[in-house]
Structure 1
Amino acid sequence: MFGNWLSGLLHVELPEPRSAAAAVEITAVHKTYVTGAGEFTALRGVDLQVAGGEFVAVVGKSGSGKSTLINMITGIDRPTSGEVWVAGTPVHSLTENQIAVWRGRTVGVVFQFFQLLPTLTVLENVMLPMDFCNVYDRLDRPRQALKLLALVGVSEQAHKLPANLSGGQQQRVAIARSLANDPPLLVADEPTGNLDSKTATVVIDLFRELAGQGKTILMVTHDNDLASRSGRIVTVYDGQILVAGEGNHA
Structure 2
Amino acid sequence: MALPPPRPDAAAVELTAVRKVYTTGAGQFAALQGINLQVDRGEFVAVVGKSGSGKSTLINMITGIDRPTAGEVWVAGTPVHTLTENQIAVWRGRTLGVVFQFFQLLPTLTTLENVMLPMDFCQVYDKAARPERALALLELVGVGQQAGKLPANLSGGQQQRVAIARALANDPPLVVADEPTGNLDNRTAVAVIDLFRELTQAGKTIIMVTHDQDLACQSSRIVTVAEGGIRPAATERGGDA
State the TM-score bracket (shorter-chain normalisation). Answer: over 0.9
Matches within 5 A, 1:127-206: 127-206=116-195
- Alpha-carbon distance, 1:248 to partner: 2.0
- Alpha-carbon distance, 1:20 to partner: 3.5
Residue in 2 that maps onto 1:8 = none
Residue in 2 that maps onto 1:62 = 51
- From 82, 90, 104, give the equivalent of 2:79: 90
2:114 counterpart of 1:119: no
Count of residues in correspondence between the two structures: 239
Residue 237 of structure 2 aligns with an amino acid whose one-letter code is E
Q: What does the per-residue CA deviation read over 1:136-158, in whole Å, with 9 as the maximum and x for residues that have no partner?
A: 00010000000000000001000
Once residues 186 and 124 of structure 2 are traced to their aligned partners in structure 1, the CA distance between those partners, rounded to angstroms, is: 35
Residue in 1 that maps onto 2:3 = 14
Residue in 2 that maps onto 1:51 = 40
Once residues 31 and 14 of structure 2 are traced to their aligned partners in structure 1, the CA distance between those partners, rounded to angstroms, is: 18
- From 208, 228, 240, give the equivalent of 1:219: 208
Q: What does the per-residue CA deviation read over 1:21-53, in whole Å, with 9 as the maximum and x for residues that have no partner?
A: 311000000000111221111000000000000
Residue in 2 that maps onto 1:107 = 96
Residue in 2 that maps onto 1:25 = 14
Residue 158 of structure 2 aligns with an amino acid whose one-letter code is Q
Residue in 2 that maps onto 1:246 = 237
- Alpha-carbon distance, 1:19 to partner: 1.4
- Alpha-carbon distance, 1:219 to partner: 0.2
2:61 counterpart of 1:75: no
Once residues 178 and 248 of structure 1 are traced to their aligned partners in structure 2, the CA distance between those partners, rounded to angstroms, is: 24
Structure 1: runs of 5+ lacking an equivalent: 1-11
Residue 118 of structure 1 aligns with an amino acid whose one-letter code is P
CA RMSD of aligned residues (A): 0.7
Once residues 171 and 68 of structure 1 are traced to their aligned partners in structure 2, the CA distance between those partners, rounded to angstroms, is: 23
Once residues 77 and 237 of structure 2 are traced to their aligned partners in structure 1, the CA distance between those partners, rounded to angstroms, is: 25
Give the TM-score normalised by structure 2. 0.98
User: Do the aligned residues in 1 keep the contact of 2:20 with 2:30 (CA within 8 Å)?
Assistant: yes
Q: What does the per-residue CA deviation read over 1:156-200, in whole Å, with 9 as the maximum and x for residues that have no partner?
A: 000100000000000000000000000000000000000000000
Give the TM-score normalised by structure 1. 0.95
Q: What does the per-residue CA deviation read over 1:56-113, in whole Å, with 9 as the maximum and x for residues that have no partner?
A: 0000000000010000000000000000000000000100000000000000000000
Once residues 240 and 6 of structure 2 are traced to their aligned partners in structure 1, the CA distance between those partners, rounded to angstroms, is: 31
User: Do the aligned residues in 1 keep the contact of 2:143 with 2:161 (CA within 8 Å)?
Assistant: yes
Percent identity among equivalent residues? 77
